[in-house]
Amino acid sequence: MKRLWIVVLIIAFFFLTLVSVRAQNSDVNNTIEELTKKISQLQQEENTLSKQISLLDSQISLTTLRVSTIRAAVTKLTAEIDELIGEIERLEELLTRRTELVLRRIPESYKRKNTSQFGMLLLSSSFSDFVSRIKYISTIQEHDAALLFQLKATQNNFEERKGLREEKKLAQEKLKKQMEQESASLARQKREKQVLLDQTKNSETVYQKLLAQALAEKQALDRALIESVKIGPVKKGDPIAVVGNTGYPGCSTGAHLHFEVRKGGTWVDPGGYLSGKRVKDDQNGGETSLGSGSWDWPLEDTIRLTQYFGKTPYSWRYQYSGGIHTGYDMVSTGSNIIRSPRDGDLYSSSQPCGSGSIIKIKYIDHGDGLLSFYLHVQ
């Protein structure tokens, strides 16, 4: 009766644990769904500083929850892998013992197999003894068969557990990579919020002014495509301009080159065209390798990249492009001369940008709908 109660308690504990885990998973899924819905709603609202802060807060909460969920899954898999390792070690020991036992019994079984019933009859003291010997050998043969079956079952179980362990290890590694990516996203989102607060000083007026400046730069670039003057053909490596700060204060915050590439009128990552290079990473710190194409870089070494293409801590300014920075911002510690990365036709334009400032723009038409742009030049 006591054992029955113990079994009942174990089953009840398992059931309650399962219900609790399912409830927790349901709560997490509901929270993720609510945050995703909130982010979608915020993206459709009028663009204000409070909306942008709320959007970032929701994204941070969602990413934090994802990191926590993945971390819990990794911890669970780690425990399961450790348990499997213990099982595999026990099975390996059992497999060794059973293999040794089978190997010891093979010679004995061989001898019994080659002993005829007539021979056993001669060795028996009576018919009853003969029958007992036959029964004994039959029992031993059954035991040997059972032993071989157990050995095979242990081998199969051993291989199955090893396979399961490898599957869980692969799943664990995949989750770890996801957690690294989500953790990097979380760090970027937190930095983006801090940059937003620092640059706007938590002021709606300053926020709208910065958005207007970014939009003015984009409009100046669009006008340059229509109103620019053709300078003529240039070859790869030819000097085409000097790094400047034109457009300040309306469209520039300091001397730098904004290098942008468009293909068929669409912004593309310049790294896909530039050759591989090691650069200083001012946006994230340290150094990084960029570039997978064949173009020369427009500036000489050493290049400091102050802002990447795509989602950056500062890209909240670029609402017109869906919140992505449309090129590379860079400076060089070696030279301010900007050189053509590839052959093409050079164009030049000067456009109003913001409150009374003028931005100077150069661009090169490389043919086949491929353009490269150079902003804020002297």
Distance between CA atoms of residues 365 and 293, nearest Å:
18
More confident residue, 188 or 148: 188
**Maximal C-alpha separation, the chain:** 125
Q: How far apart are the first and last CA of the chain?
A: 93
Residue indicated by tokens 């290049």: 303
Residue 327 has pLDDT above 50, yes or no: yes
Residue 118 has pLDDT above 60, yes or no: no
Res. 283 pLDDT band, cuts 50 70 90: very high
pLDDT at 21: 47
Q: What is the mean pLDDT of the chain?
A: 83
What's phi and psi for 42, nearest 5 deg?
-65, -35
What's phi and psi for 273, nearest 5 deg?
-110, -35
What's phi and psi for 346, nearest 5 deg?
-90, 135
Per-residue pLDDT tens over the stretch 335-366: 999 999 999 999 999 999 977 799 999 999 99
Residue 234 has pLDDT above 90, yes or no: yes
254: left (phi over 0), alpha (psi -120 to 50) or beta: left
More confident residue, 106 or 270: 270
- A 10 A CB-CB count for 151 gives 17
Average pLDDT (238-253) is 92
pLDDT at 302: 94
Per-residue pLDDT tens over the stretch 64-104: 999 999 999 999 988 888 887 887 777 677 767 766 665 66
Report all structural domains of the chain as residue ranges with CATH numbers, in order of start.
45-199 (1.10.287.1490), 206-375 (no CATH)
pLDDT at 46: 78
Distance between CA atoms of residues 32 and 29, nearest Å:
5
The encoded tokens of residue 291 equal 């570039």
Which of helix, strand or coil describes residue 304? strand
